[in-house]
Amino acid sequence: MRLPPAIIGHTEEVLREILRFTGPADGTLSHYFREHPKLGSRERGVVAEAVYGLLRNKSIYTSFAESGNGPTMRRMTLLGLADAVGVDSLGGLTEEETEWLTRVADIDRNLMPPLMRSNLPQWLFDKLVARDGEAATLELASAMNQPAPLDLRVNTIKSNREDVAAALAEAPILCEPTPYAPLGLRVIKKPALQNLPLFKSGAIEVQDEGSQLLAQIVGAKRGEMVVDFCAGAGGKTLALGATMRNTGRLYAFDISEKRLAKLKPRMARSGLSNIHPVLIAHENDGKVKRLAGKIDRVLVDAPCSGLGTLRRNPDVKWRQTPEAVVEMNAKQIAILSSAARLVKSGGRLVYGTCSLLDEENDAIAAQFLASHEDFSLVPMKDVLAEQKIPLEMGDYLKLLPHQHQTDGFFAAVFVRK
């Protein structure tokens, strides 16, 4: 069945707003859908898919849109929609538009220049090529341009992986165990989960396998004092709390009241009572100082460029700038240094990001070690062996979508001497 012609207008309107890059694309989309409640769920799905496809392939589509006649924004919109649902499903096209869309669909994208094929901004393409070479960059960029799979983490306070997989199969929802994270399930299609009894009862949480692994390498144990320094809405906090078997004390720090507020209902669902959310004003807040030297394990899931999450947030590559990354670096080292003061002798400090850039990752770890003689690096291969995670790594954890089918993640583990 053809889609109503109005879908083109809706996509064009929301796209125009998103391409201003004044805020995250998912927020702009949700806002648009709230303002247009008459749009059905299929239409909303198509608009979202077209917009995300366009953000993923913006360089190529911009070049296509330059061919042919008519306003560029309409052409961009049509390219996004045609990729999402196929030209034949679109109502309201002129004959010329149909002919143009069919023609561009036949263009061999492999013959386009590498920068354009990567669909990355020039600065990021140059950085990655200088480090990894052109072929590897194109491979990474291509993996980043695929939508992420839907990964779940089983909450061991409520259930186990086998029982959850069996309950999902009855729903029926097909899934398979994640290759590296012991509590992960990768769902084959993307069903709505919010109304499933499994979700409502807190037996599952949506969490990328890479994020699950980052929480696991903290190695939190029963009865320990643990701080999740940048807890946000608590994706990793909940995983840590379950690893601690709902014992000990787990402080969830963040400077964002809004994000911490989102943690509360998740905590209630999870059945965890060992989590203590703490709003801090900044990384040197007095609440941090009071716990200095008392904590067994500290996770710093630092604010970062987010360039490892392009599969979910393709707009990030167009919104980030090299200048913003430099500013972020100062914040990252400041947060890590302050968080380090919490760690007791023999305790563990984990620095993690969802970035692909060395300056937010290896460089921060090296800078930290150079200025903190009381800490030493625990090679990631030792941490992975300790946690029985079947991954080959050197000093650091470096997860990449084209190699590990996760978002891009980095982690370094330090121990206080």
Ligand X SMILES: C[S@@+](CC[C@H](N)C(=O)[O-])C[C@H]1O[C@@H](n2cnc3c(N)ncnc32)[C@H](O)[C@@H]1O
Binding-site residues for S-adenosyl-L-methionine, in ranges, read 254, 301
The residues binding ligand X (CB under 6 A) are 211, 229-233, 235-236, 253-256, 259, 280, 282-283, 301, 303, 335
Question: How many angstroms separate the CA atoms of 284 and 282, rounded?
Answer: 5
Q: How far is the CB of 365 from ligand X (least distance, A)?
A: 16
Beta bridge partners of 176: 186
Annotated binding site: 254, 301
Q: What are phi and psi of 186, to 5 degrees?
A: -100, 120
- Cβ-based nearer residue to ligand X, 81 or 288: 288
CB of residue 389 vs ligand X: minimum separation in angstroms?
18
Distance CA 95, CA 154 (A): 51
Question: Smallest distance from the beta carbon of 330 to ligand X, in angstroms?
Answer: 11
In the complex, least distance from residue 310 CB atom to ligand X, rounded to whole angstroms: 15
User: Looking at beta carbons only, is 43 or 228 nearer to ligand X?
Assistant: 228
Pairs from 262-269 (Cβ < 8 Å, separation ≥ 24): 262/232, 262/233, 262/234, 263/231, 263/232, 263/233, 263/234, 263/237, 266/205, 266/233, 266/234, 266/238, 267/234, 267/238, 267/241, 268/202, 269/199, 269/200, 269/201, 269/202
- DSSP-assigned letter for residue 90: B
Residue 206: which H helix or E strand, with range?
strand 204-206
Instruction: Count CB atoms within 10 A of the CB of residue 29.
Output: 19
Closer Cβ to ligand X, 51 or 335, answer by number: 335
Which residue lies nearer to ligand X by CB, 211 or 361? 211
* Catalytically active residues, by annotation: 354
- Of 25, 2, 26, whose CA–CA distance to 89 is shortest? 2
For ligand X, which is the closer residue by CB, 34 or 290? 290
Question: Least distance (Å) from ligand X to the CB of residue 403?
Answer: 21
In DSSP terms, which residues pair with 413 in a beta bridge? 350, 378
Per-residue three-class SS string for 142-155: HHHCCCCCEEEEEC
Side chain identity at residue 312, one-letter code: R
